[in-house]
Amino acid sequence: MSRSGRDGRGPAVGSPAPRRSSRLACALFGGLLLAFAGKGPAESGPQAPHPVPRPFGVSPSVTTRSGVVVSATAEASRAGAELLDAGGNAVDAAVATALALAVTYPQAGNLAGGGFLVARSRDGSLFALDFRETAPAAAGRTTFAAPGADSLTGGLAVAVPATVRGLEEAHRRLGRLPWARCAAPAIRLARDGFVVPGGLAQEIVAERKRLLRFPGSRRLFFPGGKPLAAGERLVQPDLARTLEAVARKGSDALHRGPIAQAIVDDVRRTGGILTLLDLASYRPLWRAPAEATFRGLDVVTMPLPSSGGFLVTSILAQLAVAGGAGEPDLDTPEGVHLFVEAARRAYADRNEWLGDPDCVAVPLARLLAPARLAALGASIDRARATPSASLPSVEARAEREETTHLVVATPDGEAVSLTTTLNGVFGNASVVPGAGFLLNDEMDDFATRPGVPNLFGLVQGEANAVRPGARPLSSMTPALVLDRRGKLRLVVGSPGGSTIPTTVLQVILRAAAFDQPLPDAVAAARFHHQHLPDQVSVERGAVPPAFEAALRALGHAVQERESIGRVHAIEVLPDGRLVGAADPRGYGAPAAARAASAPRSAP
């Protein structure tokens, strides 16, 4: 793994995220690595040679002695920082950020989706909150059997919304400032508006067909019949009223009463089966965090119904057996080979065996038995890809993405890692008329039809079949990394559907196991394998042709895709400063709390 000095930090907060640069075409990796000027065009200052190629440009980052928040929009990150400035803790800031994302990042930020939160309190206690949506009580194996039954768009796609219940529960147990204070920035952003960024405008156009089908979405995203353009101010009075109700009454504002009725009406009108009782009965669940160790690091993440903790545990255990010191070196084809072979084996288990542990018996102890994982690791051939067909499992296809991850950390060791989603971009595409928010299409995360791949190309087993009240298996992997003394080292997560666990793990390996500066670890090229389809996904233009050719020579099919994941992460430096880094693949940004910011560091 290429390392560089720990003082080589990214640009100060507020730096624009430079887009992919054509310079990349000539970037060489690993053994072929040449000094690479990795700075984006928008930065000023001397261009330092850099050993880690950054295909999408430089990660906007901040280094600070105060608290820090990183999320998918600058406004939402500032909303969190505002709570820290007001004396709030990491959970207060995370709640404010998540609610502000529901306003400023409608592609994935949400009130009517779900998510997972992993947190550490200042006394070192660890928490995992499951606010995953559930299948409506009337759902079952035949829900998607009829031709045309749609698990991505419209009413049938909607699982029971869970986000506000989850945020409320996290705040009830771990928050410090009043709930209404946490909602205040989001209300302000909805009422006063925010400037539509290019990324949102592009996604509205890309999804116009789906969005235009629903009156609420037409009204919000196509005012006067035209798609919202970059630079326009988006004011959302309906959403502001909904958020005001949430601030006053908590999650019951959404789960009971007139807004609940509006959700049910919209779902029913568009072919769904959600009921008022489903909404009223939804409960988030505290779970024991999943923990995996690797070279003295403790990786704390989400247990079932996320597959994230399982995959991280399995891949790391295999790598511990199959890799030598300093491996896997993700800057070399050989290192990527090792990593994806471990991923291939872990995902084969995921797709076959995992589901909601409260509804099906998952043989976790057997799957994660150290001897079994060691045997899986030992079965990796360092010189040759193992065809997925020779491992037990099924078939699959291609993917798309949209979810969002936020991170908060404070100098006293508090941390929140929170991934939230509507599932596909803009969820089920229907904005609830009068209430101003989109609904999820999380039903697609179930194995909705035997043998048919879902949005992320995953073909999953009986364990993840649609069952009334069940939580669909997820890939969301909010993570914390602790060092061998239990001190917080890294807070990290990503969207990206099935690619989330491998994305998060690559950043953990780079930043925590191999000491790359966090902004580099976030910006570096990423790879993915999920057993089926039997291919290594590689970001287009991110590695030179020779790198892909080397993977092919090892027996891999290489599939290029636009990008993989959008990581937001915070690292704790040995001197106690915090580095917040946003992924240059998106337009997210870090925000530091006001107190005691360190001088901006040179990249």
Catalytic residue (choose from 403, 404, 421, 477)? 403
| Spatial distance between the Cα atoms of 408 and 69, rounded to a whole number of angstroms | 4
- Residues between 171 and 210 with contacts to ligand DON, criterion CB under 6 A: none
Among 272, 355, 436, 497, binds ligand DON (CB under 6 A): 497
Q: Which stretch binds ligand DON (CB under 6 A): 37-45, 259-267, 374-382, 399-407?
A: 399-407
Instruction: Single out the segment in contact with ligand DON by CB under 6 A; choices: 200-208, 215-223, 489-497, 509-517.
Output: 489-497
Tell me which residue of 162, 261, 154 sits closest to 217, measured CA to CA.
Answer: 154
Contact between 82 and ligand DON by CB under 6 A: the answer reads no
**Catalytic (active site) residue 143:** no
Q: How many residues bind ligand DON (CB under 6 A)?
A: 14
Minimum distance, C-beta of residue 306 to ligand DON, in the bound complex (Å): 7
Orientation of helix 545-553 relative to helix 333-353, angle to 10°: 60
- Selected from 341, 402, 414, 539, the binder of ligand DON by CB under 6 A is 402
CB-based contacts of 432, cutoff 8 Å, min separation 6: 112, 216, 259, 262, 263, 266, 438, 439
C-alpha count within 13 angstroms, C-beta hemisphere, residue 505: 33
Our CB check for ligand DON shows the closer of 12 and 500 to be 500
Judge contact between 8 and 50, C-beta under 8 A.
Answer: yes
CB of 160 to ligand DON, least distance (A): 14
Structural tokens at position 482:
């602790």
Angle at 193 between CA 85 and CA 442, to 5 degrees: 85
Residue from the set 75, 150, 349, 401 that interacts with ligand DON by CB under 6 A: 401
476 token code pair: 């969301």
Return the number of the residue (312 or 476) whose C-beta is nearest ligand DON. 476
User: What part of residues 424-483 is at the interface with ligand DON (CB under 6 A)?
Assistant: 442, 445, 474-476
Rounded least distance, CB 384 to ligand DON, Å:
30
Tokens at 315, concatenated:
């891949």
We find the least distance from the C-beta atom of residue 474 to ligand DON, in angstroms, to be 3
- Report the C-alpha gap between 119 and 295 in whole angstroms: 22
Interface map 358-397 toward ligand DON (x if CB under 6 A): ----------------------------------------
Which range binds ligand DON by CB under 6 A, 236-244, 401-409, 543-551, 591-599? 401-409
Q: At its nearest, how many Å lie between ligand DON and the CB of residue 354?
A: 11
Could you identify the residue written with the tokens 């106690």?
A: 576
DSSP code string of 351-364: HHH---TTTS---H
- Part in contact with ligand DON (CB under 6 A); list of ranges 17-25, 216-224, 381-389, 494-502: 494-502
The smaller minimum CB distance to ligand DON, of residues 559 and 597, is found at 559
Q: Cα–Cα distance between 50 and 421 in angstroms, integer? A: 35
**Do 244 and 187 meet the contact criterion of CB atoms below 8 Å apart?**
yes
Taking CB under 6 A as the criterion, the residue among 421, 428, 464, 506 binding ligand DON is 421
Closer residue to ligand DON in complex, CB, 293/559 = 559
Q: Which stretch binds ligand DON (CB under 6 A): 195-203, 367-375, 381-389, 493-501?
A: 493-501
| 3-state SS class at 568 | strand
Residue indicated by tokens 């509507």: 422
Which of 185, 496, 501, 533 binds ligand DON (CB under 6 A)? It is 496
Residue 378, class by beta-carbon neighbours within 10 Å (0-12 exposed, 13-18 middle, 19+ buried)? exposed
Peptide bond preceding 533: is omega within 30 degrees of 0, i.e. cis? Answer: yes
Q: How far is the CB of 113 from ligand DON (least distance, A)?
A: 8
CA nearest to 344, candidates 293, 384, 299: 384
Task: Give me the count of residues in the chain.
Answer: 603
* Amino acid at the residue 271: G
Write down the least CB distance from residue 92 to ligand DON, Å.
Answer: 25
Q: Is 495 in the site for ligand DON (CB under 6 A)?
A: yes
The nearest distance, CB 242 to ligand DON, in angstroms, is 23
Among 4-12, 154-162, 327-335, 495-503, which window interacts with ligand DON (CB under 6 A)? 495-503
Q: How far apart are CA 390 and CA 393, in angstroms?
A: 9
DSSP state of 573: -
- The set of catalytic residues is 403
Name the site residues for ligand DON (rule: CB under 6 A): 401-403, 421, 423, 442, 445, 474-476, 495-497, 500
